[in-house]
C-alpha cells in the first residue's frame, strides 16, 4: 500500500514547529524570513480547503533573548518569566504575518491539567471546533507561565499529538532539526539510513530512538515516539521532517517521500487522558 499518496487526501492537519526551526542557529534570534515563508505556506494549505492548526514552540526562546540572557534558563521560575515575556511577542509576530495574507489567527495556551480534566478538555474541543468553523488558524503552545511541572509536554511534540487527538486530525507533521527516524544516530554512524515508513511501533523501531538536545530546543526522538503513539492510536498519521526548508510541508501533503511517516493504527479503546496520566 502506498501510504504516502494517501496523505494527499488529509483535510485536518496539525503542524508543529520546534524552537530550532524558528531561530537562527548561530544567534538564537528569530528567523523572520523562514517564519514568513512558514506562514505563507500555512495560509496556502488553508486556502486548499484544509483545516490547519499550528503548534508553535519558541516563547521561552524569544523571551530569554529579549531579556538579554546568553543561554537557555534552567530554573522553572526563570523559564516561566521568559515565557511571559516571549509568548506575547511571538504571537504578535504571528498575527502580523498572518494578517498580510488576510488570515485570522487565535492564541490557544494549554496545560496538562486542563487536558486531563473531562469538562475542561471538552471546553477546549468546543473552542477548537468553533475556531475552525470560523476559518481561524489556532496557534497553540503550552502555557509555560503557569505550568507547575517543567516542560510537561516535551518541546510540544506530545502536545501537538494531544491536539491532533482533540480535533480528530488525520495528519500531524512535526518539523524539527532532524530529517526523520534513522536506523542509528547519523552524527556518529555514516551508514545510518533514514526510515521512510513505520507501519508498526515494534521494539526494534523503538530502539532506534536516540534522545537529543539542541541549543534552542528540548525535544528528541523519544518525545516524537510518544507523539507518534498518541497520534497513530487516535487514527492520525504522523510525519517527522526537517524544518530547515519549510516548503517540505508542501512535499508532505503532496505525497512525496520525505521524512519518516508513522502510519495510523486507530485503537478504539485508546484513552488519551489515561495516557497522559501514566
Summarised one tens digit per residue, pLDDT across range 3-46 is: 999 999 999 999 999 888 888 888 878 899 999 999 999 999 99
Summarised one tens digit per residue, pLDDT across range 87-141 is: 899 999 999 999 999 999 999 999 888 888 889 999 999 999 999 999 999 999 9
Q: Round to whole Å and give the CA distance between 13 and 164.
A: 8
Summarised one tens digit per residue, pLDDT across range 185-233 is: 777 788 888 999 999 877 777 777 654 444 434 447 788 888 999 999 9
HSE-CB at 147 with a 13 A cutoff on CA atoms is 25
Over range 72-101, report the average pLDDT: 90
pLDDT at res. 278: 62
Question: 11-277 in CATH: which number?
Answer: 3.40.1160.10
* β-strand partners of 130: none
Residue 19 neighbours by CB distance under 10 Å: 25
Per the document, the length of the chain is 278
pLDDT at res. 275: 72
Dihedral of the alpha carbons of 140, 273, 268, 230, in degrees to the nearest 10 = 50
| pLDDT of residue 169 exceeding 50 | yes
User: Phi and psi (nearest 5°) for 6?
Assistant: -70, -20
Q: Round to whole Å and give the CA distance between 187 and 212.
A: 11
pLDDT at res. 65: 82
Strands 12-17 and 237-242: unpaired
Find out whether 137 and 103 touch, Cβ atoms under 8 Å. yes
pLDDT at res. 214: 42
Residue 16 neighbours by CB distance under 10 Å: 31
pLDDT at res. 146: 66
Contacts of 26 (CB under 8 A, 6+ apart): none
Summarised one tens digit per residue, pLDDT across range 134-168 is: 999 999 998 866 665 544 565 689 899 999 999 99
pLDDT at res. 221: 78
Amino acid at each position: 500500500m502506498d501510504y504516502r499518496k494517501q496523505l494527499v487526501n488529509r483535510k485536518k492537519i496539525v503542524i508543529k514547529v520546534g524552537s530550532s526551526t524558528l531561530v537562527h542557529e548561530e544567534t538564537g534570534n528569530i528567523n523572520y524570513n523562514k517564519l514568513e515563508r512558514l506562514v505563507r505556506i500555512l495560509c496556502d494549505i488553508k486556502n486548499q480547503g484544509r483545516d490547519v492548526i499550528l503548534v508553535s514552540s519558541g516563547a521561552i526562546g524569544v523571551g530569554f533573548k529579549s531579556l538579554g540572557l546568553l543561554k537557555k534558563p534552567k530554573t522553572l521560575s526563570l523559564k516561566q518569566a521568559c515565557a511571559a515575556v516571549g509568548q506575547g511577542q511571538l504571537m504578535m509576530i504571528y498575527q502580523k504575518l498572518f494578517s498580510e495574507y488576510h488570515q485570522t489567527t487565535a492564541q490557544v495556551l494549554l496545560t496538562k491539567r486542563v487536558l486531563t480534566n473531562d469538562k475542561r478538555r471538552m471546553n477546549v474541543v468546543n473552542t477548537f471546533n468553533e475556531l475552525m468553523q470560523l476559518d481561524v488558524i489556532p496557534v497553540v503552545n503550552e502555557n509555560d507561565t503557569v505550568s507547575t511541572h517543567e516542560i510537561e509536554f516535551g518541546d510540544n511534540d506530545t502536545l501537538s499529538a494531544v491536539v491532533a487527538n482533540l480535533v480528530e486530525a488525520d495528519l500531524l507533521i512535526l518539523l524539527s532539526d532532524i530529517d526523520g527516524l534513522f536506523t542509528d544516530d547519523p552524527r556518529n554512524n555514516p551508514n545510518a539510513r533514514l526510515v521512510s515508513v513505520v507501519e508498526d511501533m515494534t521494539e526494534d523501531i523503538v530502539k532506534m530512538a536516540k534522545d537529543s538536545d539542541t541549543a534552542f530546543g528540548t525535544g528528541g526522538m523519544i518525545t516524537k515516539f510518544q507523539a507518534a503513539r498518541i497520534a497513530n492510536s487516535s487514527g492520525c498519521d504522523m510525519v517527522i521532517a526537517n524544518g530547515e526548508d519549510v516548503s517540505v510541508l508542501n512535499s508532505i501533503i503532496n505525497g512525496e517521500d520525505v521524512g519518516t511517516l508513522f502510519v495510523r493504527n486507530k485503537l478504539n479503546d485508546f484513552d488519551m487522558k489515561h495516557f497522559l496520566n501514566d
